[in-house]
């Protein structure tokens, strides 16, 4: 399982803040549930995620850098 790093989580929160997105908005962009969006942005601990979630996070970060 791929792992989201603390840096990736921070970048995702930065995208969320810069775009003034709620967790619900972020979940829609990532095509995940709101609960998953909350889980992957709540702390800076490395987190194992499914390939689909990992790829979505990488895509959103890359598109907004």
- Residue 22 has which token pair? 């709620």
Q: How far is the C-alpha of 57 from the C-alpha of 61, rounded, in Å?
A: 6
pLDDT digits (tens, 9 = 90+) for 6-32: 999 999 999 999 999 999 999 999 999
Q: What pTM, to 2 d.p., does this model score?
A: 0.94
Q: How far is the C-alpha of 57 from the C-alpha of 9, rounded, in Å?
A: 9
Q: What pLDDT does 3 receive?
A: 97
- CATH number, domain with residue 49: 1.10.260
Number of domain units in the chain:
1
Its domain, for residue 54, covers 3-63
pLDDT digits (tens, 9 = 90+) for 34-64: 999 999 999 999 999 999 999 999 999 999 9
State residue 3 phi and psi, 5-degree precision: -125, 130
Question: Please, what is the Cα angle at 38 between 35 and 41, to 5 degrees?
Answer: 150
């Amino acid at each position: 399982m791929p792992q989201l790093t603390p840096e990736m989580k921070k970048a995702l929160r930065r995208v969320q803040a810069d775009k003034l997105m709620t967790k619900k908005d972020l979940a829609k962009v990532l095509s995940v549930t709101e609960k998953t969006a909350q889980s992957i942005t709540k702390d800076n601990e490395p987190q194992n995620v499914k390939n689909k979630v990992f790829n979505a996070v990488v895509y959103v970060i890359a598109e907004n850098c």
